[in-house]
Amino acid sequence: MGKENFIEIYVDGCCLGNPGPGGWACIIKKNNEEIILTDGEPFTTNNQMELKAVISALSYFKEPRKIKIYTDSEYVLKGITQWLVSWKKRGFKTSQGKPVKNKELWETLEKLTNFHQVKFIKVSAHSGNFYNEKADRIAKKSAKKWKKKF
């Protein structure tokens, strides 16, 4: 991981109903190309889709990389940069003593952020950021496909 530039990745997740059919998308910007990953589930939550977008993006790389993740999800951003340390100290319990939702996804995300050098950057949702808007459209399209399947 010498002097390589950071790979930029835009992620988004959505749900048609919460819970309901959901979709996620990530746009990986690497060497002047765009790699788009997307999928979804028939019955999920918005937060799960947001997490799966990040996990899928980071899992794409099999060797450690320097990565910037752009997300509009406060849940993902604060979860990985602030809350996770406290959750772990409390045995994956919230400050109210309740089990942390999506524990397995958080554990997977933590492993991936330890494997790569990851910087999380907050993007305002629906603010005209080209790649954030594109990831949002792709995630919604994926969610709609799941809605039609079931």
In one-letter notation, the amino acid at residue 65 is R
Task: Please say if 126 is a catalytic residue.
Answer: yes
What average pLDDT does the structure give for the chain?
93
Only one residue has tokens 């999506």, namely 102
- Please state the domain count of the chain: 1
pLDDT at 30 (0 to 100):
86
Range of the domain at 117: 7-149
pLDDT in tens, 63-88: 999 999 999 999 999 999 999 999 99
In this structure, are residues 109 and 51 in contact, taking their beta carbons and an 8 Å threshold? Answer: yes
Does residue 16 lie within any of the structural domains?
Answer: yes
Does residue 58 lie within any of the structural domains?
Answer: yes
| Options 23, 40, 41, 72, the catalytic residue | 72
Quote the tokens at residue 148. 């039609």
Does residue 110 lie within any of the structural domains?
Answer: yes
| Options 40, 50, 79, 116, the catalytic residue | 50
- Structure pTM? 0.94
pLDDT class of 4 with cuts at 50, 70, 90: low
Does residue 1 lie within any of the structural domains?
Answer: no
Does residue 78 lie within any of the structural domains?
Answer: yes
pLDDT class of 125 with cuts at 50, 70, 90: confident
Asked if the model's pLDDT at residue 148 lies above 90, the reply is no
Please provide the size of the chain in residues: 150
Q: How far apart are CA 53 and CA 116, in angstroms?
A: 16
Does residue 92 lie within any of the structural domains?
Answer: yes
pLDDT at 150 (0 to 100):
56
pLDDT in tens, 9-28: 999 999 999 999 999 999 99
Within 10 angstroms of residue 82's Cβ, the number of other Cβ atoms is 10
Does residue 2 lie within any of the structural domains?
Answer: no
Q: What is the CATH number of the domain that holds 122?
A: 3.30.420.10
Task: Please say if 72 is a catalytic residue.
Answer: yes
Asked if the model's pLDDT at residue 52 lies above 80, the reply is yes
Task: Please say if 39 is a catalytic residue.
Answer: no
Task: Please say if 107 is a catalytic residue.
Answer: no
| Options 22, 41, 79, 136, the catalytic residue | 136
pLDDT at 1 (0 to 100):
46
Q: How far apart are CA 105 and CA 125, in angstroms?
A: 22
Task: Please say if 20 is a catalytic residue.
Answer: no
Q: CA–CA distance from 1 to each of 5, 8, 104, 108, 119 (Å)?
A: 9, 15, 28, 22, 14
* Cβ-based neighbours of 141, under 8 Å, separated by 6 or more: 23, 38
Percent of the chain topping pLDDT 70: 95
Does residue 34 lie within any of the structural domains?
Answer: yes
